[in-house]
Structure 1
Amino acid sequence: MEEIAAFSSADADKALKDCERMIQKSLKSPTVRFLREHLEKAGCPVQDNFFKAIKCDQFHAGGYLPGEGIVVCGNRTQMQDEVTQAITHELIHAFDDCRGANLDWTDCAHHACSEIRAGHLSGDCHYKRELLRGFMTVRGHEQECVKRRVLTSLSSNPFCSGSTAKDSMEAVWDVCYNDTAPFDRAP
């Protein structure tokens, strides 16, 4: 048993080091650079130490922690594209947090709006990603994906229980889905 635990710890350490390396590579991505530039223009510059690789217990690729930074789950992300995707998604949350002086992550509508924007603008729901996840429809796949992923994210927010999550998402959908800032249009 001790050998297995030591091997698992070594694997975890390697996964985190690999993730740190992929984070550094992601910071050179044109979309990540664009978002960081716009965060700086909005008065919220983010340094390289804003991004951290961690071991996660839940099934998430990463997360945005207001006031702290972005974490990428080294034990959940194994490819460069996954890391870049997670960072892009979370940078949109950081941008929303920066520009929304009264953004309240405990408010289900606020959380839903940022999730709608992050899902729509980050490419989370590109048809190739959806196909790999086993979700694919001919029409409307992107919006259906965004809605599904928003509800999944809101389910982890204790302030969004029951029908509150869906009601909040539907209430802000049009405004938030069509808000493409800092992009001119959805990428």
Structure 2
Amino acid sequence: MSTSPPPPPPSSSKPQATTTSSSPSSSSQPPAPPKILENDPARTGYDPSLKWYFNYFKILTGQITPEGIEHYREDRYKVHEARDCAKCEADRDWLFRHSPVVRFLREKTAALNGQLDETNVVCRRCPGRIFDDGTVLRQSGGFSPDHGIVLCANEFRNRGHLEDTLAHEMVHAWDHLRWNVDWMGGKDLKHAACTEIRASMLSGECRWTRESVTRGNWTLTQQFQNCVRMRAIQSVMARPTCRDDVHATKVVNEVWDSCFSDKRPFEDIYR
């Protein structure tokens, strides 16, 4: 892995999808890719020429649409980019020194002649994408085999969230060094499905406390397996060779038993 900053990565922590409006489709043909929306104050109510606190008041009083709120959020991320990246870098450096899972994965990556440090684990602002079908896609990080790991500084709630994301991407890095993963699925999406299962399983992002407190999922039975499966499916769907959610689910199911039981380089699931 080189030390130059990563481009938009081929593998990312689970995209966070939210809905700003409903747009049902009854067509039997595959839908055209949704268009990315630019802000129109006449449509959204959000006027970037106003002071932020005027727009914030408009949000509180219901004068800005859900789409407009997302545009407002993106603009505030731009304003706070330097602050967010500085905080991300400080947390990253702390985790490299003190986090057991991050230190362990760093050592195991080094044993495969890989290097992960501040030169190729970088913090950046990651723009969200707002589509005309009502969805908003965000990500908290990504891995590029040619460049390293990008951490999306504007998306982290706290250091624990960053730790889960960094561990997720470090599992991808270890997998790539160990098996030379076909990330884009040009030959076989099973590679991508397997590494996504393993990254969600081993990083700690699907542990019950995070699912319950952060996402409001208080299910006790099969919660962990369901979370890993869901996140793997969503990540596989982001590959250009994946046709739809049915295709992604099929591929994940095909590799589930072998990949969910593969805990390397750990001996067990500790998070």
Q: CA RMSD of the aligned region, Å?
A: 1.8
Q: Could you report, residue by residue, the CA deviation over 1:3-41 in whole angstroms, capped at 9, with x for unpaired residues? A: 659976441221111111111112121110100100111
Distance 1:32 1:49 in 2: 16
Moved beyond 3 Å, runs of 4+: 2-10
The answer for the alignment partner of 1:159 in structure 2 is 241
Distance 1:97 1:164 in 2: 23
Q: Could you report, residue by residue, the CA deviation over 1:76-109 in whole angstroms, capped at 9, with x for unpaired residues? A: 01311111111001000000001003x2012221
Kindly indicate which of the two structures has a greater share of residues assigned to helix: 1
Distance 2:262 2:168 in 1: 15
Q: 1:22 aligns with which of 62, 85, 91?
A: 91
Q: How does 1:58-137 map to 2 (within 5 A)?
A: 58=128, 59-101=138-180, 103-107=181-185, 108-131=189-212, 132-137=214-219
TM-score by length of 2: 0.65
**Contact kept? 1:92, 1:118, Cα under 8 Å:** yes
Tell me the CA shift for residue 57 of structure 1: 1.9
* Bigger RCO (CA 8 Å, 6+ sep): 2
**Contact kept? 1:19, 1:78, Cα under 8 Å:** no
Could you list the runs of 5+ residues in structure 2 that have no partner in the other structure? 1-48, 53-71, 129-137
Identity, % of aligned positions: 31
Q: Secondary structure at the match of 1:45?
A: coil
Larger Rg: 2
Could you list the runs of 5+ residues in structure 1 that have no partner in the other structure? none
The answer for the alignment partner of 2:257 in structure 1 is 174
